[in-house]
Chain A
């Protein structure tokens, strides 16, 4: 079973700053089947990034994903007020989808 570990647990930043979120896998993630989701309070998650680096439909280009193998990063180049939320990485391998524990991006 692949375990995903996200860091940091909480990121305190101001609007306009750059956010860098990390997701580390216990084993190599197959074919970059790695996705990132954003979740706001009381809402369902929303797909941001798939295939480690491809933006989903309608996602602003301030969101970018990178990485391969066991180390992945989600970068938000300049935080907008609506970007303060919890972010989850997820891998899909061996027909199973596991999530990291999440990183909360909060207003400093």
Chain B
């Protein structure tokens, strides 16, 4: 079945970087954008940006510009989100989600299970 499976929980120190992976299966990886969304404890959803797995093109939310890097490896149908210079307020669950494309008017139809990132000294 169509699914996105993310890497496991991470504990990082302030100032460090974290890299979260998102492995796609059950569909053509290069056919749909992958978005990244995060959710701080008890808070709402925050969109971070997308990557086009076909071309590698990216588009980041302005507030993450300079700290986030989204990449992909089509040979293993995996997308990555790298966030640097971590602060305490970066502690959150990070989700990857598949963009549904024009057929779904760009809604996010498949979500990974989430990766919890803890930032603590």
Contacts and interface: CB of A to CB of B under 8 A. Distances in A.
Interface of A: 31-33, 35, 37, 39, 44-47, 50-51, 54, 56, 88, 90, 92, 95-102
B88 to A, nearest CB: 21
Contacts of A90: 45, 47, 107-108
Interface residues of B, number: 22
A104 to B, nearest CB: 11
Contact of B106 (A33, A54, A56, A99): A33
Interface in B52-108: 59, 61, 95, 97, 100, 104-108
- The residue among A54, A90, A101 with the most chain B CB atoms within 10 A of its own CB is A90
Contact of A95 (B50, B95, B111): B50
Given A44-B95, A50-B100, A98 B47 contact: yes
A35 B108 contact: yes
B46 A99 contact: yes
Interface of B: 35, 37, 44-47, 50, 59, 61, 95, 97, 100, 104-109, 111-114
23 contacts: A31-B105, A35-B108, A37-B108, A45-B37, A46-B111, A47-B104, A47-B108, A50-B105, A51-B104, A88-B45, A92-B106, A92-B107, A96-B47, A96-B59, A96-B61, A97-B35, A97-B37, A99-B37, A99-B45, A99-B46, A99-B47, A101-B44, A102-B45
Nearest to A57: B109
